[in-house]
Structure 1
């Protein structure tokens, strides 16, 4: 016997890409621009700190990790978002280190979605396109997925004013990603304030995925905590998620955190005690060192800015190109993302992800990602230039 909810899920996007391209001859050695996995190397600080704390692998870690890591995260949040005095983060009650933020983004749905909401099946609101973890989390929690279109017409963020009364009545959880994966759009403070207020008025948990918050072009994106801290209700109904995967180019470290509503943090700790995988202490020590260091992050940002400069040079005259304000993806309007991805593979050996694989069909049958191609700018400058030149040759 298996959980029938799993059958409601489509194949993961990367499996769909393999199904599309397997058996099709590539036009050169494979260049993988489908996976958002930084290829620029981990900071030296990571290995140095792990080596100093290797003996910590000899004991079980605490469910909420170490006081030192929680303090390092709290201090970083305070610095990054200008939280001080009464607004400063409480390292003991408002922060939960995670074994990769996907853990938290998935489990928050298991934590807050009830069996019944408003006398019917609960709803989880998800931007469309979306990070696939949201879909899996909602489905496996027994909820129906409520799609919030995030298109060029809405600034590539969900239009909160378009949520109707029935959706808001049924919704238990709402995911918003800023900077958005895949489009790179950044929510401003007014948008975040509206989302927080909406969540509280309708008793919805707002899960802000801010994992790309440190990868930005010019202006640092605001965060949910800094906006919520100014309200009289502080972090009620709000949790945010951050990661070292992108900020510190360390996806294999599997280290991130959730922060916000202390009641949700405490309840998450209880859930984790039964089925979670806390960070080993050496990884906690390395994570704390990375959150305390900004030099390597500035170097990471400079690297991505240079890659976007290359994108401007190679694709800037193409109608389907725009330079996103955040993240490290290009979201290219190529007319038919799936057909273009196949042609690109045959032409040059470059693998990119069709945008339709990151979205679901809306009620009218349209897929908001179908026209697009997601290109992960995660390689060195020479490799990026080679791939973008190949893309440019096929774009109109």
Structure 2
């Protein structure tokens, strides 16, 4: 039996790789997972009551694009957060988590050819792995752009050649970035959008960590595009309640952009997408309309980052993240560091190379580990001390 060659170069997914690396070894202490970004803070207290009220909606097929109430709530949130007015009916699509949207948008919007060649889909390296799978599924070639300390831990697309830019159909950007916690400022978005206009490619802005920041709210791609007068169909933004509201199991996210681009995405999703169940759409609408719990959540993460700053104050290469909920810590070798932490302390972290690819400029994740600050504060504190004492003392 033959299998498609387009996926033959995909490595094993990050977490099976981590299990293969660690699970044959006994932990060196009480196991503590800081490897996966699964929020553990309490979700809003009103969610349970809202779900109970909406239970009768399980008796109905849910609207594929999102209920009018949910779309309106998302539209209001975009207006309040970014000062951008969108038409909820034509510019917003409710998603069953953003991963499916990040994948499906590539299928829906990537052309078969670009500048007479196989299209390229540019993405940061390290990156959320669905970007590369979406590119491969669309028949495009992933173009990995290293995001390093020298580039502010964001991909510098201006380093691409004119030919590469002309062949680029889509550029994925994650801001705040996973795993480094870097924020694309307004100048970064303006430069990228100018390139996108000049070379005619889409910008897919993965903004799932946008509400977990320390000081200043990160600007959004659609916000800057609107200020610049860029064609709104050139930009698609993706957001989620998973990180903002500690509801990864609700699977509620959205995509928003120009009406023509969103129409193409909706058309594909009508055939292949799984709509969010009706009761969950009703709950999500209420959650998007509440900001009090988001402020509380942000404060909890800020305290953890302050603690990390104190623990690693004497580590010269430490970079304090601006947003998100990960640490991106430098080590000689990420796999060796992860194995050492597990066998000596019982702490699980993720080798950075599991989130990145080899390029002609090296693998930018190899000399790092990713540490998720999602556990309760006392566990995070214990894990940070384990890292400091095991790897840097």
Matched, 1:119 2:116: yes
* Structure 1 equivalent of residue 203 of structure 2: 206
1:198-247 Cα deviation digits (max 9, x unpaired)? 11221211100000000001111001121111233441310000000000
1:5-49 Cα deviation digits (max 9, x unpaired)? 222211001111111112111112221111000111222122211
| Pick aligned residue for 2:370 from 367, 374, 377 | 374
TM-score, normalization by structure 1: 0.96
Which SS does the other structure have where 2:177 is aligned? coil
Which SS does the other structure have where 2:296 is aligned? helix
1:119, distance to aligned residue in structure 2 (A): 2.3
Contact residue 32 and residue 346 of structure 2 kept, 8 A: yes
2: distance between equivalents of 1:128 and 1:350?
25
For residues 140 and 8 of structure 1, do their structure 2 counterparts lie closer, same or farther at Cα, with a shift above 3 Å needed?
Answer: farther
Structure 2 unaligned runs (5+)?
A: none
1:357, distance to aligned residue in structure 2 (A): 0.9
After TM superposition, the structure 1 = structure 2 runs for residues 27-176 of structure 1, keeping only pairs within 5 Å, are: 27-83=28-84, 88-176=85-173
1:193, distance to aligned residue in structure 2 (A): 1.4
Structure 1 unaligned runs (5+)?
A: none
1:70, distance to aligned residue in structure 2 (A): 0.6
* Structure 1 equivalent of residue 277 of structure 2: 280
The alignment covers a number of residue pairs equal to 391
| Pick aligned residue for 2:267 from 261, 270, 274 | 270
* Structure 2 equivalent of residue 5 of structure 1: 6
| Pick aligned residue for 2:357 from 352, 360, 363 | 360
Contact residue 109 and residue 264 of structure 2 kept, 8 A: no
Which SS does the other structure have where 1:229 is aligned? helix
2: distance between equivalents of 1:330 and 1:189?
23
| Pick aligned residue for 1:252 from 249, 252, 273 | 249
In the TM superposition, structure 1's runs of 4+ consecutive aligned residues that sit over 6 Å from their partners are none
Contact residue 207 and residue 238 of structure 1 kept, 8 A: yes
1:90, distance to aligned residue in structure 2 (A): 1.1
After TM superposition, the structure 1 = structure 2 runs for residues 233-252 of structure 1, keeping only pairs within 5 Å, are: 233-252=230-249
* Structure 1 equivalent of residue 25 of structure 2: 24
| Pick aligned residue for 1:219 from 216, 219, 237 | 216
| Pick aligned residue for 1:389 from 360, 385, 388 | 385
1:313, distance to aligned residue in structure 2 (A): 2.2
After TM superposition, the structure 1 = structure 2 runs for residues 330-341 of structure 1, keeping only pairs within 5 Å, are: 330-341=327-338
2: distance between equivalents of 1:126 and 1:393?
35
Contact residue 122 and residue 172 of structure 1 kept, 8 A: yes
1: distance between equivalents of 2:311 and 2:208?
28
* Structure 2 equivalent of residue 349 of structure 1: 346
1:263-284 Cα deviation digits (max 9, x unpaired)? 1111111101111011111111
Which SS does the other structure have where 2:46 is aligned? helix
* Structure 1 equivalent of residue 189 of structure 2: 192
1: distance between equivalents of 2:176 and 2:193?
17
1: distance between equivalents of 2:224 and 2:113?
31
2: distance between equivalents of 1:199 and 1:352?
36
Contact residue 109 and residue 265 of structure 2 kept, 8 A: no
Contact residue 128 and residue 355 of structure 2 kept, 8 A: yes
1:115, distance to aligned residue in structure 2 (A): 2.6
Contact residue 8 and residue 139 of structure 1 kept, 8 A: no
1:153-191 Cα deviation digits (max 9, x unpaired)? 000111122111111111111100100000000011111
1: distance between equivalents of 2:314 and 2:64?
51
Greater displacement, 223-232 / 378-387: 223-232
| Pick aligned residue for 1:325 from 322, 327, 331 | 322
What CA RMSD, in Å, does the superposition of the two structures yield over aligned residues? 1.2
Which SS does the other structure have where 1:148 is aligned? strand
